[in-house]
A and B are shown apart, each in its own frame.
Chain A
Amino acid sequence: MEEHGEFLIPASRNEVWRALQDPLVLKQCIDGCEQMTVINADEFECAVTVKIGPVKARFNGTISILEAVQPESYTLKVAAEGGAAGFGQGQAHVQLHETNEGTRLTYAVEGSIGGKLAQIGSRLIQSFSRKMARSFFESFSKQWVA
């Protein structure tokens, strides 16, 4: 599955960059995220409950920040295990561009799933991942709208 999109955020590139590294911000923006623990500056552990079609499960995962080019771009790598429900892995390549109205954030997400999720929920994965990515960046950009 692949997914991409962009958002315009009324904030400077540095502000956005900092927020993108902040585990608290990440936690708020990930739908169903119950816990976010910092392992080190570039690695977090999280627990997320998601429901995809008939499969509802709690996933434990790690989020790592790779290829960080401050304050322009980074890659967020996620690997999550949902026990009997299956597993997922993916990465989001995020780029920040300065514009007159603020920062334009573009993202490209790719990922794969396995286990029960892949067997029962594969038809739903495309729309689910689109929704999940969109909702993350939407929540993320809303921080500056309020």
Chain B
Amino acid sequence: MNAETGIGASALRKEDARFITGKGQYTDDINVFGQTFCVFVRSPHARAKIKSIDTASAMAVAGVIRVFTGDELTADGIGDLPCGWVVTSKDGNPMVAPAHPPIATEFVNYVGEPYAFVVAETLQAARDGAEAVSADFEVLEAVVDTGTATSSAQIHENVANNQAYDWELGDKDATDAAFAQADHVTSLDIVNNRLIPNAIEPRAALGSYDAASQTYTLYTTSQNPHVERVVLALFVQVAPEANLRVISPDVGGGFGSKIFVYAEETAVIWASAKIGRPIKWRADRSESFLSDAHGRDHVTKAELALSSSGEMLGLRVKTIANMGAYLSTFSSSVPTYLYGTLMAGQYKTPAIYVETQAVFTNTAPVDAYRGAGRPEATYVVERLVETAARELGMDPVELRRINFIPTDAFPYQTPVALQYDTGNYAASMAKALELADSDGYMARKAASEAAGKLRGRGYSCYIEACGLAPSQLVLQLGAGVGLFESAEVRVDVSGSVTVMTGSHSHGQGHETTFAQLVSDRLGIPFDSVNVIHGDTGRSDYGLGTYGSRSIAVGGSAIDKALDKIIAKGKKIAAHMFETTDDQVDFADGQFSYAGSNEPKPFAEIAGAAYIPAVYPLDELEPGLSEKAFYDPSNFTYPAGSYVCEVEIDPTTGETDIAKFVAVDDFGNVINPMIVEGQVHGGIAQGIGQALLEHGIYDSSGNLATGSYMDYAMPRADDLPDFQVDMTSTPCTHNPLGVKGCGEAGAIGSPAAVMNAITDALGVKDVSMPATPQTVWQTIQQGT
């Protein structure tokens, strides 16, 4: 292995070369000949009937080419934006999904929902045109509040009580019995605050239609271009799949929000054929706030039953999840299969029962945001555990330790469907305590107190199910797509390699990590490996990047393709050695045979593959290029222990994160530098949720936090240095032993921060975000 670029090395990133010099190619950086510009006209009302739309004065604006309304899309056979996962309610009925036309036709159901769009020669003309569009609305009563949505005005004609589904998981009777026997019950009412993802690159799309070949090309900011293509082709029916190419070039962050198929790219690609010219759109940040799918927004009642010695006996959770106005692409799975299934946490709680009621409101659709369901589950479990320890007068670390699933219990079947393959929770906890200088805590607390500050400490031991996902399992549970991944390894004549992956990098560094994997296994230089992603015209159908799946599923697919490359290389080498392929070994980039003292380097075999002189072509095809599709047999289960210490100034209510320690078990790690970077970013978003971020709608459904002046993004001076380390129990069911690291930080950190704050203040609960105002008020109330 190469110490600088092999598996396990912190290789510097290949992609950085273009990003640090301003040469990245993001969607908005791409310009094509004859391109026009598009601006969407968005509803100023949270809920209204569209009586009429006047486009005439917009058409009169100089430079305006066309003004489109939703009726024109409908008339052209353009379908609804679908939700790709059908969740089944307790009563056996499938969820109820309202119609979701890309461009609103009869009703608008959230502020920012597009009801028309203007295409013009220049962006300025498109903006002027959009301002000139006017609609006559009959304003209706808006439903905004998650907790009371089911008893509010009915939003959609076909959705009674504004309820999409009422789902359950686990054994209700066994759980009730556990509560009946319990010595102690800890209950919490928990609100998981609505977040707005805010990738710094706003969503964008550039659609064009080539009449000569009748093909469509869509550049867009997608985490999964193949999914975008299949949804636009099969469901929305913009174009036949073969005639549609979707390219996600460099994408500036996603965090979930760029998984989904949105109205804007649908409109742009459709309309490009109508006007016969390319159309470009880029969201203003204000539009991103209004129209990107939001995250979280749960209202939960949670109860934990314990014995007097702290043994966890049962867990009961009832959650209302706000879906927003429509069911976005994967929204239904988030508060169910990505949430309820995680309620065992790292613990052997024998009886668990979870109910989730998904409700509609007149707010932007809510879907997966970094962690998607798992941060919410971890927050419930870890807030409960910490609170229970305080109520029982136990050390929260000790309470966790006695309930951890022991290392000899794996594979461990939880009461909520999942089977954990491996883990060592006590090891992560021990390392975290050591890193956090647990022994020095009392001295630090005393020092804080001497300085007039309140110090608190909180823990969070998360688990997540990621590496989405075993296709047949998720299909059984209602998913509309398989969740395997594709890979193609093309060996060039010279022995360099081009890898096509169905995974997509929007910051994760796949061009580097995957190159490390390939270079390490083939024994070729790191610089000889080129990774291509994000283009349906170049790589096989793949599912993209979300749910920390790229290395576990995408990486495993590459690994499988590499197996095939090596196997074929052995066959070629066998002919050169005049032996059989089972006699050929491959290691360190060389094919060798015991009967020869001249091993063949990989590049020589590559050359021989394409200059097929040495092997019979009726037995072996020429060339060296292999594909693989990898479908995992289980989820992967990263887990870790986080410790947070806060110092609060009681005079201002300001919380300072004095210490943040994260010890994660991601199994094997290809590039520790990149993995640590992912953890940093996840923690920052988790601390953002705990201290700063909150998507707020006012009572009439206006987004009150619609800009960076009102939505508090974590900035450099809001965050501490992080202490990050790892333990490792390799995943048992994928070839690389990897688990995935993208979401961990966001999953584990909110509970750690809030456990620390409630410890510092000596209160049971503080709602997120714990802004200085909230904390100060809590101190004043003394509750």
Mutual binders A and B: yes
Q: Is residue A90 contacting chain B, with contact meaning CB distance below 8 A? A: no
User: Could you tell me the distance in whole angstroms from the C-beta of B198 to the nearest C-beta in chain A?
Assistant: 15
* Nearest A residue to B289, CB-CB: A119
Q: Is the CB of B702 within 8 A of A118?
A: yes
Q: Is the CB of A122 within 8 A of B698?
A: yes
Q: Is the CB of A122 within 8 A of B704?
A: yes
Residues from chain A with a CB closer than 8 A to the CB of B134 are 83
Could you tell me the distance between the alpha carbons of A55 and B554 in the complex, rounded to whole angstroms?
47
Convert A64-101 into 0s and 1s, putting 1 for each residue whose CB lies closer than 8 angstroms to a CB of B.
00000000000000000001101100000000000000
Residue in A113, A116, A123 whose CB lies within 8 Å of B286: A116
Q: Is the CB of A122 within 8 A of B44?
A: no
Q: Is the CB of B698 within 8 A of A118?
A: yes
| Number of interchain pairs (Cβ within 8 Å) | 44
B44-61, CB < 8 A from A: 44-45
Residue in B131, B700, B709, B710 whose CB lies within 8 Å of A112: B700
Q: Is residue A102 contacting chain B, with contact meaning CB distance below 8 A? A: no
Residues from chain B with a CB closer than 8 A to the CB of A83 are 131, 134
Q: Is residue A10 contacting chain B, with contact meaning CB distance below 8 A? A: no
Residues from chain B with a CB closer than 8 A to the CB of A123 are 709-710
* Nearest A residue to B700, CB-CB: A112
User: Could you tell me the distance in whole angstroms from the C-beta of A71 to the nearest C-beta in chain B?
Assistant: 34
Q: Is residue A120 contacting chain B, with contact meaning CB distance below 8 A? A: yes
User: Could you tell me the distance in whole angstroms from the C-beta of B269 to the nearest C-beta in chain A?
Assistant: 26
Size of the A side of the interface (Cβ < 8 Å), in residues, is: 14
Q: Is the CB of A120 within 8 A of B131?
A: no
Interface size class of chain B, counting residues whose CB lies under 8 Å from the partner chain: 10 to 19
Convert B700-718 into 0s and 1s, putting 1 for each residue whose CB lies closer than 8 angstroms to a CB of A.
1011101101100000000
Residue in B44, B290, B698, B704 whose CB lies within 8 Å of A87: B44
Given A84-B130, A84-B131, CB of A113 within 8 Å of CB of B702: yes
Could you tell me the distance between the alpha carbons of A115 and B702 in the complex, rounded to whole angstroms?
7
User: Could you tell me the distance in whole angstroms from the C-beta of A62 to the nearest C-beta in chain B?
Assistant: 15
B370-427, CB < 8 A from A: none
* Nearest B residue to A119, CB-CB: B706
A92-135, CB < 8 A from B: 112-116, 118-120, 122-123
User: Could you tell me the distance in whole angstroms from the C-beta of B631 to the nearest C-beta in chain A?
Assistant: 44
Could you tell me the distance between the alpha carbons of A116 and B111 in the complex, rounded to whole angstroms?
10
Q: Is the CB of A119 within 8 A of B700?
A: no
Q: Is the CB of B131 within 8 A of A119?
A: no
Q: Is the CB of A122 within 8 A of B131?
A: no
User: Could you tell me the distance in whole angstroms from the C-beta of A54 to the nearest C-beta in chain B?
Assistant: 9
Residue in B130, B289, B702 whose CB lies within 8 Å of A114: B702
Q: Is the CB of A120 within 8 A of B703?
A: no
B282-299, CB < 8 A from A: 286, 289-290
Residues from chain B with a CB closer than 8 A to the CB of A86 are 44
B112-157, CB < 8 A from A: 130-131, 134
Convert B702-743 into 0s and 1s, putting 1 for each residue whose CB lies closer than 8 angstroms to a CB of A.
111011011000000000000000000000000000000000
Residues from chain A with a CB closer than 8 A to the CB of B698 are 118, 122
Could you tell me the distance between the alpha carbons of A114 and B704 in the complex, rounded to whole angstroms?
10
Q: Is the CB of B710 within 8 A of A114?
A: no
Residue in A84, A112, A120 whose CB lies within 8 Å of B707: A120
* Nearest A residue to B139, CB-CB: A114
Q: Is the CB of A114 within 8 A of B111?
A: yes
Residues from chain B with a CB closer than 8 A to the CB of A115 are 44, 111, 702
* Nearest B residue to A87, CB-CB: B44
Given A83-B131, A83-B134, A84-B131, CB of A118 within 8 Å of CB of B286: no
Residues from chain A with a CB closer than 8 A to the CB of B111 are 114-115, 118-119
From B44, B707, B710, name the one whose CB has the most chain A CB atoms within 10 angstroms.
B44
Q: Is the CB of B702 within 8 A of A119?
A: yes
Residues from chain A with a CB closer than 8 A to the CB of B709 are 120, 123
Could you tell me the distance between the alpha carbons of A113 and B702 in the complex, rounded to whole angstroms?
8
Could you tell me the distance between the alpha carbons of A114 and B286 in the complex, rounded to whole angstroms?
14
User: Could you tell me the distance in whole angstroms from the C-beta of A125 to the nearest C-beta in chain B?
Assistant: 10
Q: Is the CB of A118 within 8 A of B703?
A: yes
12 new A-B contacts, CB < 8 A, other than A114-B44, A118-B706, are A84-B130, A84-B131, A87-B44, A114-B111, A114-B700, A115-B44, A115-B111, A115-B702, A119-B111, A119-B286, A119-B703, A122-B702
